[in-house]
Amino acid sequence: MIKTYMRKDLQNYSPYHAPEKPYEVKLDANENPYTHDPEVIQAMKDWIEDCEHMRRYPDTDCHRLKEAIAEFWKVGKDEVICGVGSDQLIESIAKVFIEPGDKVLMPAPSFSMYKLATTLNRGIAVEFSLDDDYQYPIDTIIQTYQEIQPKCVFLCTPNNPTGSSLAIKDIEKLLQVMTCPVVIDEAYGEFVDRTMIDQIDKYPNIIVLRTFSKAYGCAGLRVGYGIGSKEMIEALHLVLPPYHLNAFSQYMAKTILEKYGHYKDNVKAIVKEREALITALSTIDYVCKVYPSDANYILISVSRDDIVKQLEERKVLVRGYGATGALANCLRITVGTEKENKKLIEVMKTI
Ligand SMILES: Cc1ncc(COP(=O)(O)O)c(C=O)c1O
């Protein structure tokens, strides 16, 4: 009954879904396995003790958090926007720029939210395929861009789930041609230590997205941010709901940014563990290929179609992509702690 009243284009729409499963080792969502700085934990306790915070609405403009981000990146406060995760900013970009029938250019395989946000706003997702090693095919992208003249482009670097990333010179090559809004999603940017944030003056049509969910281990707080020209940021603010980001998350994200040193060390530890895990995965007989990664996860292809299930039965979670499509028989494994990674390899060897 309700379905008959729904928008026709949503009747077969599948939303983003992440079912909860029991686990001992959780390596399926690119989360950060390390603990927080003790001063951050103390700040969290202090905040909770003062109930006044909860009675009041949060700062709808996220002034203090924006100030901290602006200072961190040496940009203007009016060049920063905060969101409920970078997911909300992806949605906002789609809401602001896409009109029904507009084409949006994006990589495949990549983060599913670009396509979902495009579809929800009645745009048409036009995907360009990454090459056989999941690298960005720069000349093909330029050619496709010129052919379809999209309203907006998404680039994900490092790309989820492939781990491949774009060199700055290649992004600049693309930006010589792309005049429409270009989203540069750097959700995993800390792991490759490369950014386009310092180029927002040169390219006022870009919006660089970052998040506290990965390198800063705060996926549960849902804080993301975007940095771009003042004009771009003003446009994106048009569609943000009032009081979108809760007061606790704003306060914690600011506190965490001030303890950057601690999180930088965690990133270094993850990068070191990633290389050890790549070596260990390569020794497993049903692993056909281990792709290099610039992020906190590793994509592998396997010769069997039951590995995700077998691991799940042993309470180890990884992300699987099924037996068909561009990621057929591929698994994405988040880099965990040394102990978690050892457990994963041990369990994989028993299958
Ligand atoms: C490439 C990419 N962008 C954005 C996000 C969204 O991150 P969040 O909404 O937690 O900030 C993710 C989450 O996995 C991601 O992989």
Pocket test for ligand 1, best of 113, 210, 221 (most atoms within 8 A of CB): 113
How far, in Å, from the CA of 312 to the mean position of ligand 1?
23
Q: Is 259 exposed, middle or buried, given 0-12, 13-18 or 19+ CB atoms closer than 10 A?
A: middle
pLDDT at position 242: 97
Alpha-carbon distance values, 140 to 65, 125, 145 (Å):
39, 16, 8
First-to-last alpha carbon distance for the chain, in angstroms, is: 47
For residue 234, give both structure tokens.
Answer: 């003003």
Residue 19: pLDDT band with limits 50, 70, 90: confident
User: Which CATH homologous superfamily contains domain 16-35+261-350?
Assistant: Aspartate Aminotransferase, domain 1 (3.90.1150.10)
How far, in Å, from the CA of 104 to the mean position of ligand 1?
19
Residue 156 CA: nearest ligand 1 atom is: 1
Residue 102: pLDDT band with limits 50, 70, 90: very high
The chain-wide mean pLDDT, for the chain, equals 96
Residue 87 CA: nearest ligand 1 atom is: 9
Q: How far apart are CA 294 and CA 310, in angstroms?
A: 27
Give the model confidence (pLDDT) of 245-293 as tens digits.
999 999 999 999 999 999 999 999 999 999 999 999 999 999 999 999 9
Beta bridge partners of 104: 125, 152
How far, in Å, from the CA of 230 to the mean position of ligand 1?
23
Give the closest residue (by CA) to ligand 1 atom 3.
187
pLDDT at position 262: 93
The domain 38-258 having CATH identifier 3.50.50.60: the answer here is: no
- Start-end of CATH 3.40.640.10 domains in the chain: 38-258
Pocket of ligand 1 (CB under 6 A): 30, 85-87, 111, 156, 160, 185, 187, 211, 213, 219, 224
- Start-end of CATH 3.90.1150.10 domains in the chain: 16-35+261-350
Pocket test for ligand 1, best of 92, 106, 160, 296 (most atoms within 8 A of CB): 160
Under 8 Å between Cβ of 228 and 207: yes
pLDDT at position 89: 98
Pocket test for ligand 1, best of 214, 223, 252, 256 (most atoms within 8 A of CB): 214
Give the closest residue (by CA) to ligand 1 atom 2.
187
